Structure 1
Amino acid sequence: MRKGSAGSTTATTSPDTPALRALTPAVSAARARKFGSWYYAEHVLRSMNSYRWTLLASSVGTPVLYLFAMGVGLATLVDRQAGEAFGGVGYLAFLAPALLASATIMTASTEFTYPVMDGFKWRRGYYGPHASPLGTDQIVNGHIIAVGLRLLLTTVIYFAIVAAFGASPSPWGWVAVPVAVLCGLSFGLPLMAYAASVEEDKGQFALVMRFIVMPLFLFSGTFFPLETLPVFLRWIGWISPLWHGTELGRTLTYGYAQPFELVLVHVLYLGVLAFLGWRLAQKTYARRLGK
């Protein structure tokens, strides 16, 4: 720093310090159009960083508590009476893939409801980025990328704890991680599209959690084989992304036997749901924000 003639100071740079140059508006706009989805994903991730310790505690604490309760408590009692009811594996190995998929469903239900409405109504966080060169599709994609990364982190931590409990004996068990992320997105993206269409909060999301998420959690073959349910209740599992994700997870983690055609149906069902939810979310955001 040096003083000017009137006592004011002006900034100087040393010969070794490169001068900072601002990008021209045209260059900034071009970069936003090219990488806008990742820029918005960074924004969402930075928002999540403000409550990172809560996320970490829930990502680690929840699986430890569930698996300890099931593996040391309930599983001990169930295994004494179950015999071959779970395909020749212990109850913990049977349950672990379902808990893995359930964790992504629960997380997606949180991240694709109130934060979406927050972006449109409360803090209106979508409108600032939309006033920039970012398009509505990039805002949707960025939100999905950020939540997908959160799902991935949660699932990796969850699976590491599952493996530490010895509940994933198959060498292919790690593939259950991307399957669980796909399961979460297959439920979360249609929910995201619905949340984007909600203009007034009248308890719709609480109803979703109570009358959709919880029944799927209870009746999707999570705690017992779906075949043990009465026929008139099995349809809940058949249409549930959680059941399809859980069945795939069991095949991967301990070699649960099922026909290849059924495995293909599971994968296609989850993929189609996620794709349709993504496209519907893009259309709904475009309607609400305007292109």
Structure 2
Amino acid sequence: MTSAPVPLTPAQSAAKARRLGSWYFAEHTLRVMRTYAASVLMYSVGTPLAYLFAMGVGLAALIDANGAGAFGGVDYLTFLAPALVASAAMMSATGEFMFPIMDGFKWRRTFFGPHASPLAPAQIAQGHIIGVTIRILVPTAIYFAIVVLFGAAPGPWAWVSIFTATLCALSFGLPLMAYVSTLTKDSGQFAAVQRFIVTPLFLFSGTFFPLATLPWFLQWIGWLSPLWHATELGRVLSYGYAEPAWLGAVHVLYMLATAVAGAVLSRRIFTRRMGA
């Protein structure tokens, strides 16, 4: 017969919370996401099926018939698929790093309850980042699996694009989280982000056609876009898209730098708004 576990003292519980607080809040974030898990699953399956079926059976057939060789020796669906995986991850990050942050600080002030415990503001920020990263990684893997079923990821290293797409999501989402953390009211900023930042990045990041085919005065949008960097990496991994090794390193370093900068700023802003 085993003995009952000895309960922790308040001081021990507080010390454990200080040590593992980020993971506690990550668990809370994931539990909240369970309330709309069915929607996430439907989006993770339905969106790739709709896009890939439309592109693979519809548009791609027309493009391949009239533009053979325009996409580096691969069919249009294979060219497009890495961009769709990365863009889906970025779109998910946009929602998860905007609305829950405003909810935590303004609408329902859900960040302040955990802060009344031994959890520090920086741990709350880190916990949200951990939870959202897991939430993005799993649907991205599902999206990639459907891409494989369509035969649009022929390379042996194509699976690594799951992680480059997730890094893209963090590269865009974490600076966005830092920005939203500074807001004290919703005055249409979210709609502006969707219309004037997210949509142009989706359209002008080499998603549907090579970036070099754009006029020179629009190509800078792609150069600054995490989506373009992730898309280029995804194409290299998926089908051996020809690209210099140094440029691949630039893609990774750019996304890492913006993600780290966003995470550091978010921690600082959380600490300033909620107190040390």
Q: What is the TM-score when the length of structure 1 is the normalising length?
A: 0.93
Inter-partner Cα distance in structure 2 for 1:144 and 1:65: 29
Q: Report what 2:130 is aligned to.
A: 145
Is structure 2 residue 266 aligned with structure 1 residue 272? no
Is structure 2 residue 166 aligned with structure 1 residue 186? no
Give 3-state SS (helix, strand or coil) of 2:133's partner: helix
Alignment of 1:111-126 (within 5 A): 111-126=96-111
Q: Report what 1:5 is aligned to.
A: none
Q: Report what 2:67 is aligned to.
A: 82
Inter-partner Cα distance in structure 2 for 1:24 and 1:122: 34
Q: Report what 1:50 is aligned to.
A: 35
Structure with max Cα Rg: 1
Inter-partner Cα distance in structure 2 for 1:104 and 1:182: 9
Q: Deviations over 1:33-72 (max 9, x none)?
A: 1111110000000000011111111111111111111111
| Pairing partner for 1:92 from 52, 69, 77 | 77
Letter in 2 for 1:51: Y
Inter-partner Cα distance in structure 1 for 2:89 and 2:97: 12
Long gaps (5+) in structure 2: none
1:136 Cα deviation after fit = 1.2
Is structure 2 residue 172 aligned with structure 1 residue 165? no
| Pairing partner for 1:128 from 96, 113, 132 | 113
1:246 Cα deviation after fit = 0.3
Q: Report what 2:246 is aligned to.
A: 261
Inter-partner Cα distance in structure 2 for 1:203 and 1:20: 52
Q: Deviations over 1:163-198 (max 9, x none)?
A: 010000000000001100000000000000001001
Q: Report what 1:216 is aligned to.
A: 201
1:23 Cα deviation after fit = 1.9
Inter-partner Cα distance in structure 1 for 2:7 and 2:35: 28
1:254 Cα deviation after fit = 0.6
Number of residue equivalences: 276
Inter-partner Cα distance in structure 2 for 1:205 and 1:18: 54
**RMSD of the TM alignment (CA)?**
1.0
Letter in 2 for 1:223: F
Is structure 2 residue 272 aligned with structure 1 residue 287? yes
Q: Report what 2:161 is aligned to.
A: 176
1:20 Cα deviation after fit = 6.0
Long gaps (5+) in structure 1: 1-15
Deviates more, 1:21-30 or 1:132-141: 21-30
Inter-partner Cα distance in structure 2 for 1:20 and 1:89: 61
Q: What is the TM-score when the length of structure 2 is the normalising length?
A: 0.98
